[in-house]
Amino acid sequence: MRLASKASSPPRRRQSFTEFLGRREVMPFLLLVPVLIFFIIWNTIPTLWLLGLSFYRFSLTSGRPPIFAGFYNFDSILNDSAVWLGLSRTFLFVILAVGIETVLGLLLGLLFWGSQKLPGRRVALTLLFTPMVLTPVASGTFWRLIYDPTFGILGSIFRGLGLPSLNFLGDAHLAFGAVLLVDIWMWTPFMVLMTLAALASVPKAELEAAEIDQLSWWQRLRLVILYHGKFILMLGILLRTIDAFKTMDLIYDMTFGGPGSTTEVIAITLYRRAFEDFTMGWSSALAVILLLISIAFTATFIFVLHSRDRKQASLAEEGA
Amino acid sequence: MRKEIITLNRRGLLKGASALGATAALSMPHIARAQDNPLRGKSIHMSILGIAGWVPSRLGVDLAPDFAKMAKDKYGYDVTFSYAEAPFSQLFQKAATSLATRSQEYNIIISDSQWLGALAQPKWILPLDPVIKKNPALDVEWYAPVVEAAYQIYPDGTKKRWGFPQEGDTMGLYIRKDLLEAPGEAAAFQQKYGRKLPMTWEDFEQLSFDDFVKLIAFFNRPEKGYNGFGGQYSREYDFISCPSMSVMRSTGGDVWDPSTGQIEGIFNSSSNAKALKSWVDLLKYQPPSAINYGIGELIDAFAQGKVFSAMQWCAVGPAMIPDALKDKVMVVPPPGFPDKSGKLVRNYIIGGQPWVINAFNDPDHMQVAIDFMEWWYQPETSLSYAQHGGNPCDKATLSRPDFDAMHPWYRTYKYMLNYSSDFWHDPAYAEMLSTQQEAMTAYATGQIKDPQHALDYAACRQQKILFDEGVATKQPSGACTGMRL
Amino acid sequence: MTTWRRHLYHLLLWLIALVFFAPVAWIILSSFKTANQILAVPPVWIFRPTLANYVRVLSDPGMVHSFINSIVLSVTSVLIAVAVAFLAAFSFSRFKPPGTNFLMFLLLSIRMLPGSAAILPVYLMYVGFGWKDSYWALILFYAMFSIPFSVWILKGFIDGVSPRFDETGRVNGASWLSIIAKLIFPQVLPGVIAALIFNFIFVWNEFLFDYIIGGPHTTNVPTALSTGLYSGGGVDWTFVSCVTTLYILPPIVIVYVFQRYLLVGMTFGTVRGEV
């Protein structure tokens, strides 16, 4: 086939410009020109800017030019208890949010598995998926009202049930959980979606075989469903992990990172230092550290993806 | 950000008409000026950045059509205004992210008083001394020295001016007069505490903090749907800091030494820790959500009748006293703190905002901005501002015999101007504030148990911020190593 | 399954969907209340709906401007992003130029960064170049942020179209452009739609970038919502609920109409199929 295409361009004729552009050696790069322009202007230059500035002491409001400071910023970050607490809080948030969303998503997904005949299924699924597409600014703000102990609907429900009216976002012991709950509300539907996709990838024949073999519910889940669906679930978990790590607007609009620092995840710390305090040098250094963490996440994501592709390739070979 | 083109509303039109009458009578000599004004015939659009939902900021712009009338009349140019706004916690970001690009996005900015340093240091705003020299009308005589110190001067202790007072503001104690004066309350209070229930403004002037606590404890009636008190405790912006620092300074403490930039040892004194504790202890007499109260939430609580009293800025008087509460509210000085001799001390944090002028304005916009300022301090503008519920700062208006009675909070506002002062005017203001807010709310919400620990943590971090900045002469002490919340 | 058990099962599913929707329903309900009804204790369930909030929001020129901005910013940037991404994805998929994997990796890592870290250097650059509060500067940055996602989705789809199609086209003398337009594009249309709608939802809901590198001219609705929260003193809940209700309609309609693309969209095209 490839030969045929080469042969199709007649030799020894002066090429027109368009033909030159259409050549196999030129074409691939030509198609990449726009994306590379974007990439260089909005990624390479800013990233280099960031890297450079991370070695300087620079505050936008000091009126002084940046002063080269070597690794001072990195040193200051690594010795800052607030950064470490912020990072560990972020990871705790990620683990709890993704963990609960996965389990809940899996359960609800299994429940929705046989829902093909549900009257108004499309509407029901739309309602279920709505929290994901609501702008976090709006959901964060409105949850503040829902949680408000005086005016909030949740407080009223609690009082109606004879329970004490709790101050969800104001109490240092409850705020983290309250924020977590909103994230779970927002993103469990995503794990439901992934579970449904995973279930759809299970071959019907194997399920029928499992039925005939009278495998227990647990065995079916483990041996058949998870065996086939695990890659999709894995991708779902990873995407959620990355997204949860990025969470900012939602929490910021509910608590501003407070009370105290109980809900201050690392993205909020960076936001504050960069855009409230304008300590650009220090913030650049923190952004560089977060960039490294994100690269690690991305690498994991791609690793899982490749292992799925390899697996599918080997399955295809077996099949053949 | 909501952006609105200001149109002449009916009220503005009436005001404008009356102002027009006044200027027409006075302005004969200006006609010559209008003809040779370089802006004559031009059409200029001014953009003002102000605080969202903040009545006085809004008023500054609502009155602007009057200025447009006058400008057309006196200088011969057309001017329109648009108003961009952001909440307190975001306004500085909004201004700074824009000014850093040397942009004219906002020609005039309503800044919070403590930002003067951060705006002046990078030369983003116009130094005003040469302007005032050229326009003596702008050399206004203020009601109290704190006005100049808080809204104009940076650095502290110099004579360099950068801002014009837009809204003067102090704390006041808003009291539900109808509940206070209800039959039987005075006698019941007398019986319970063996002292007279404070009833008049003068009684409250003599009210000590301890007696104030008795008062709010007495009126704390959650079973009837209201609590004794509401204060500000939110982590947002400076909400827990202002009242806490007021208690600290009124009980003999201070927050820093401006001459050496020293924080440690001053801010984290044991008396300050006690002050923080006493402010947080008041939560007992407040609705459970008080821990999240900022200015806005406190307004909601008070205006909805959820609290008997509230320590709140005088600037939000119009929102605190909606029509439903008209004549049911009195505003009195917040409690005093007895010193060793028993004399009551009040040293509260001042609020309020100056106007500042974008240094990157082109000459036309610069001229209009200065004309606008000149107009703002004309006695009739000042008076009109006062009539609408703003808090002017000039001696002429505040000394009017009818001033105190104009609005329920005016007497207290004027009184408290003599007992209020500002805290740090430093470029690192935002950074120092956010670490302090974090520490104070950590204590208030029970994340940590010891107020001293909260102040130690904040003092160490602030000391480091100022040392890194080159303002503080001393490094954080050894006690700060490994300090964490 | 007996009939009543099936009914019970369906009822349960609907209940779950409604539980997740309940907070949104509460927002929508609130948008028809007066300020006092929103804050009423105990909550008001039966009330005379008012349209006053909508009248107020829609007659506020600043707010209308923000709505227009939201539409302009999201539609333009997404179209640009998908066009650019399509070309790149085609190149990656067909020619596998050296560095393909590395570039795909870099592209993805942009999307993995917390927003505040991603916008910081761009802000500094915009300060340096004076690009703040410019439509193009904002649109192109949004496009940049949407490209990685689109490249990932589209590459997956183009990979799925056999190269035989292009070869046949080449043999028949068709130019690359017409091959892309006539042979490839129709086959990967679902991917293009998924990329379009999911980037649209992303830009539509985006707050931080608009807030930091935008300005009074380019304010979108989330930014307007965040800065317009307070008015006349307290939080303006009628404003919040009303704007939110209006703003959430397009995403809800999209989720309903394009439900089958949801999966592709939300997984960078790495998972396909219907639910």
What number of C-beta contacts closer than 8 Å exist between A and B?
A: 126
Q: Do A170 and B292 touch (CB under 8 A)?
A: yes
pLDDT band at C264 (very low <50, low <70, confident <90, very high): confident
Find, among C134, C125, C129, the residue nearest to C215 by Cα. C134
Same domain, B273 and B185: yes
Number of domains in chain B: 2
Is the CB of residue A149 less than 8 Å away from at least one CB of chain B?
yes
Task: Please give the pLDDT value at position A212.
Answer: 86
> Which residues 39-78 of chain A have a CB within 8 Å of chain C?
39, 41-43, 45-47, 49-50, 53
A41 part of a folded domain: no
Phi, psi of C148, rounded to the nearest 5 degrees: -55, -50
pLDDT above 70: residue C151? yes
What's the pLDDT tens digit per position in B352-378? 999 999 999 999 999 999 999 999 999
A171 or B305: whose pLDDT is higher? B305
A201 or A270: whose pLDDT is higher? A270
Quick one: DSSP state of residue B323?
G
> Which residues 169-208 of chain A have a CB within 8 Å of chain B?
169-173, 175
Is the CB of residue C64 less than 8 Å away from at least one CB of chain A?
no
pLDDT band at A13 (very low <50, low <70, confident <90, very high): low
Domain at A294, CATH number: 1.10.3720.10
Q: Which domain holds residue A90?
A: 72-319
Same domain, B334 and B360: no
Task: Please give the pLDDT value at position B7.
Answer: 37
pLDDT above 90: residue B250? yes
* Mean pLDDT of all residues belonging to chain C: 87
Which residues in B have their CB inside 8 Å of a CB on A? Answer: 89, 92-93, 96-97, 100, 118-119, 121-123, 234-236, 287-292, 300-301, 306, 427-428, 430-431, 434, 437-439, 441-448, 468-469, 482-485
Same domain, B108 and B246: no
What's the pLDDT tens digit per position in A173-182? 899 999 999 9
Find, among B391, B378, B379, B380, the residue nearest to B18 by Cα. B380
Is the CB of residue C267 less than 8 Å away from at least one CB of chain A?
yes
Among the partner-chain residues C12, C88, C251, the one whose CB lies closest to the CB of A133 is: C251
B246 part of a folded domain: yes
Q: Centre a 10 Å sphere on the Cβ of residue C12 and count the other Cβ atoms it contains.
A: 13
Task: Please give the pLDDT value at position B6.
Answer: 39
Judge whether C273 and C263 are in contact, CB under 8 Å.
yes
Contacts of C220 (CB under 8 A, 6+ apart): C66, C69, C70, C73, C206, C207, C210, C214
Q: Centre a 10 Å sphere on the Cβ of residue A20 and count the other Cβ atoms it contains.
A: 12
Domain at B378, CATH number: 3.40.190.10
Residue holding tokens 């309903």?
A: C256
Single-letter amino acid, residue B177: K
Phi, psi of B106, rounded to the nearest 5 degrees: -120, 120
Q: What is the average pLDDT across C116-124?
A: 89
Task: Please give the pLDDT value at position C233.
Answer: 56
Q: What is the average pLDDT across C235-240?
A: 85
A57 part of a folded domain: no
pLDDT band at B449 (very low <50, low <70, confident <90, very high): very high
Judge whether C65 and C219 are in contact, CB under 8 Å.
yes
> Which residues 241-270 of chain A have a CB within 8 Å of chain B?
255-262, 264
Note the pTM of the prediction, 2 decimals: 0.85
pLDDT above 80: residue A208? yes
Task: Please give the pLDDT value at position B20.
Answer: 40
Taking 3-state DSSP, the helix, strand and coil percentages for chain A, each rounded to the nearest 5, stand at 75, 0, 25
Q: What is the average pLDDT across A42-55?
A: 91
* Mean pLDDT of all residues belonging to chain A: 86
C267 or A272: whose pLDDT is higher? A272
What's the pLDDT tens digit per position in A82-104? 899 999 999 999 999 999 999 99
pLDDT above 70: residue A6? no
Task: Please give the pLDDT value at position B17.
Answer: 40
The number of helices, as runs of H, and strands, as runs of E, in chain B is 22, 13
CA torsion angle B166 B170 B173 B175 (round to 10): -20
B343 or C176: whose pLDDT is higher? B343
> Residues of C with CB below 8 A from B319's CB?
232-234
> Which residues 168-227 of chain A have a CB within 8 Å of chain C?
185, 188-190, 193-194, 196-197, 200-201
Angle at A147 between CA A146 and CA A153, to 5 degrees: 45
Task: Please give the pLDDT value at position B32.
Answer: 44
Single-letter amino acid, residue C231: S
> Residues of C with CB below 8 A from A201's CB?
273
Task: Please give the pLDDT value at position A209.
Answer: 87
Q: What is the average pLDDT across B259-269?
A: 95
Q: What is the average pLDDT across C195-204?
A: 91
Lookup: tokens for C234: 């307290």
pLDDT band at A19 (very low <50, low <70, confident <90, very high): low
Q: What is the average pLDDT across B234-244?
A: 93
> Residues of B with CB below 8 A from C36's CB?
304
Q: Where do the structural domains in chain C lie, given as residue ranges?
A: 61-266
B407 part of a folded domain: no
Task: Please give the pLDDT value at position B1.
Answer: 41
A49 part of a folded domain: no
Task: Please give the pLDDT value at position B25.
Answer: 40
Q: What is the ipTM of this complex?
A: 0.89
Single-letter amino acid, residue B438: E
Task: Please give the pLDDT value at position C104.
Answer: 82
Q: Which domain holds residue B87?
A: 3-168+352-400
pLDDT above 80: residue B155? yes
| Residue B182 Ramachandran class (φ > 0 left, ψ -120 to 50 alpha, else beta) | beta
The DSSP bridge partners found for residue B312 are: B172
Task: Please give the pLDDT value at position A23.
Answer: 66
What's the pLDDT tens digit per position in B2-29? 444 433 333 333 343 444 444 444 444 4
C-alpha to C-alpha distance for A45 and B424, rounded to whole angstroms: 37
Q: List chains touching C (3+ CB pairs under 8 A).
A: A, B
pLDDT above 50: residue B241? yes
Whole-number CA gyration radius for chain C: 23
A312 or B263: whose pLDDT is higher? B263
A157 part of a folded domain: yes
Task: Please give the pLDDT value at position A270.
Answer: 94
Is the CB of residue C149 less than 8 Å away from at least one CB of chain A?
no
Task: Please give the pLDDT value at position A17.
Answer: 66
Q: What is the average pLDDT across B127-137?
A: 94
Task: Please give the pLDDT value at position C275.
Answer: 62
A54 part of a folded domain: no
CA distance C62 to chain B (A): 4
Q: What is the average pLDDT across C165-179?
A: 80
B405 part of a folded domain: no
Task: Please give the pLDDT value at position C29.
Answer: 92
pLDDT above 60: residue A2? no
Quick one: DSSP state of residue A16?
P
Same domain, B64 and B134: yes
Task: Please give the pLDDT value at position B14.
Answer: 38
Residue holding tokens 């820790």?
A: B273
A213 or A1: whose pLDDT is higher? A213
What number of C-beta contacts closer than 8 Å exist between B and C?
A: 93
Q: Do B105 and C123 touch (CB under 8 A)?
A: no
> Residues of C with CB below 8 A from A281's CB?
none
A18 part of a folded domain: no
C-alpha to C-alpha distance for B82 and B211, rounded to whole angstroms: 48
* Range of lowest pLDDT (A21-35, A200-214, C114-128, C139-153): A21-35
Angle at B160 between CA B157 and CA B162, to 5 degrees: 120
Contacts of B403 (CB under 8 A, 6+ apart): B386, B397, B410, B414
Q: What is the average pLDDT across C33-52?
A: 85
Number of domains in chain A: 1
CATH fit for domain C61-266, picks 1.10.760.10, 3.40.50.300, 1.10.3720.10, 3.40.190.10: 1.10.3720.10
pLDDT band at A15 (very low <50, low <70, confident <90, very high): low
What's the pLDDT tens digit per position in C92-108? 988 888 888 888 888 88
Same domain, B95 and B161: yes
C-chain residue closest to B301, CA distance: C234
